[in-house]
Amino acid sequence: MTRTRAPRVVGTILKLFFVLVIMSVNALLLWRMCSSEDPSAIKILMVNDRTRAAYAENGDALLLQYQKQPSITREEKNYGYFSVTQCIFIPQANQVQIVVRYNNGTLKHLAEDYGLAEVPARDSTLFDVTLVMTTDQTPENREDNADPSKLEETRCYASEIRSEATTLYQYRRYIFDGISLTDQTVGVFADIYYLGDVDYSESAYGTLCLYDDESPWIPYRLTSADRRALAEEQ
């Protein structure tokens, strides 16, 4: 009797083991998915005088829009380092807001790339983020836009920054004011430099396109949290 029960016991133990493995993997995947979600606080529009005035004048007719552009750096030198998880153009406020995200791996790569003595602390201020607008200087000839000498670059600096963090990621939300697109605006890009190596005459540590003049606009819908922030008295 003992000899016949032994295989059953072993089989039961193996089944339980595999069930536990599957449950553990699923729990890990679920945790990873939840940790990859942007924190709710970072998703809410930042509001300054420009944004508030535009909403007071236009209400729910306030135009907010974005384009579907590659959201993660994919060059060999910075593959997966940075992503822009949200980008919103608000033309009636002459404003752009973006959310930049990077993970703990980016900090390790940063230490390797710059020969740092140690990996920087997660909550350190490490990166300079600016917008670069390219303007066509020969609008009568679009064929020459591939030539950088035919485009004028204007660099724009953030007026406000909000920081948030999760177990896996660091987030920075930026407001850029005074951004006005025209028929001659060819592109808008986010340039990310390491603060220890900011040289605007050199290529950025990471660059992501936010707008190009050939991609369609997609409307952004205000959330209830956005509306509360916009309507809040200063």
Instruction: Note the pLDDT tens digit of each residue in 1-29.
Output: 455 565 666 667 666 655 555 555 444 44
- A 10 A CB-CB count for 55 gives 23
Residue 150 has pLDDT above 70, yes or no: yes
Burial 170-208 (b: 16+ CB within 10 A, else e): bbbbbbbbebebeeebbbbbbbbbbeeeeeeeeebbbbb
Spatial contact of 101 and 192, defined as CB atoms under 8 Å apart: no
- Quick one: CA torsion of 151, 146, 181, 227, rounded to 10 degrees? -130
Task: Give the C-alpha separation, 70 to 75, whole Å.
Answer: 12
Q: Is 89 exposed, middle or buried (0-12, 13-18, 19+ CB in 10 A)?
A: buried
Pairwise pLDDT comparison (67 vs 2), residue with the higher score: 67
Q: Is the pTM of this model over 0.75?
A: yes
Across the chain, mean pLDDT equals 88
In the prediction, which pLDDT does 32 show?
Answer: 46
In the prediction, which pLDDT does 143 show?
Answer: 66
Cross-sheet strand order for the sheet of 206-212: 151-157, 127-136, 185-194, 206-212
pLDDT tens, position by position, 170-216: 999 999 999 999 999 999 999 999 999 999 999 999 999 999 999 99
pLDDT tens, position by position, 90-122: 999 999 999 999 999 999 999 999 999 999 999
Q: What's the count of helices (H) and strands (E) in the chain, helices before strands?
A: 5, 10
- DSSP-H helix ranges across the chain: 2-36, 40-43, 49-58, 104-113, 224-231
In the prediction, which pLDDT does 31 show?
Answer: 39
